[in-house]
Structure formats: C-alpha cells, structure tokens
C-alpha cells in the first residue's frame, strides 16, 4: 500500500495551472456580488433619504412641479464602487431616487 504523504506529488504544475483560472473566476464572481450588494444597499438608502425629505423637507433634491399640485422630488447621486481585481479603472454607479411630495404649497 502506498503512502501518499511520503511520495512526492506528481503533476503539481498541472494542478496549479488548472487552479489559477478557478481562483480568478471565484474572485471575479465575488467582486460582482459585492458590487451588486453595494449598489442595492445604496439604492435603498437613497430612496429612504428622498422619502424622508419629501415628508420633512430638505434641500438635497431636485423638485419638479406637478399639474394638480405637489411636486416630484428627484435625488441623483453618482459615486465610485471599490473593486477587488481591477484597480486601474474605477466603476461608477448612478442612483436616481424618486418621491412624490403631495404638499400643495411646495
């Protein structure tokens, strides 16, 4: 019976060559999941902020009046997402949030 721990491992270069693309694909998928999670989190935060602004008032939005009264509030934010693999180029994300302010005096 052979003892695999004592014997020198053969084919380690081939194993290493097949392992490199798997690690790269794993890191790429991890980066995409992280970027998507960051985008969704920031979208929910931005939508909550514009909804709070519609209720309490504020000045960080663009207001467009509606015909019957009230206005539509838009919050437009552009920021950068951190990357794990490609450090040379930055990924930008643009988040647009919308809320309706039903106050007739606005």
Q: Domain-by-domain residue ranges, the chain?
A: 12-101
The pLDDT confidence band at residue 96, using thresholds 50, 70 and 90, is confident
pTM value? 0.59
Radius of gyration over alpha carbons of the chain, in Å? 25
8-state DSSP, 61: S
Q: What is the mean pLDDT of the chain?
A: 77
98 confidence band (pLDDT: 50, 70, 90) = confident
When mean pLDDT is compared across 57-61, 69-73, 77-81, 96-100, the lowest value belongs to 57-61
DSSP letter at 6 equals T
Identify the helix (H) or strand (E) that includes residue 95.
strand 91-101
Phi, psi of 93 (to 5 degrees): -125, 140
Average pLDDT value for residue range 57-75: 81
- Nearest of 65, 49, 61, 60 to residue 105 by alpha carbon: 65
Give percent of the chain above pLDDT 90. Answer: 0
The rounded Cα 57 to chain-centroid distance in angstroms is 27
């Amino acid at each position: 019976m052979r003892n695999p721990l004592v014997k020198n491992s053969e084919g380690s270069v081939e194993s290493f060559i097949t392992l490199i693309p798997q690690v790269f694909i794993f890191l790429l998928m991890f980066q995409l999941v992280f970027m998507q999670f960051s985008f969704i989190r920031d979208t929910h935060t931005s939508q909550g902020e514009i909804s709070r602004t519609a209720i309490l008032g504020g000045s960080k939005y663009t207001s467009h009046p509606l015909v019957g009264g009230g206005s539509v509030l838009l919050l437009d934010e552009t920021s950068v997402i951190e990357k794990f693999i490609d450090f040379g180029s930055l990924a930008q994300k643009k988040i647009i949030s919308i809320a309706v302010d039903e106050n007739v005096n606005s």
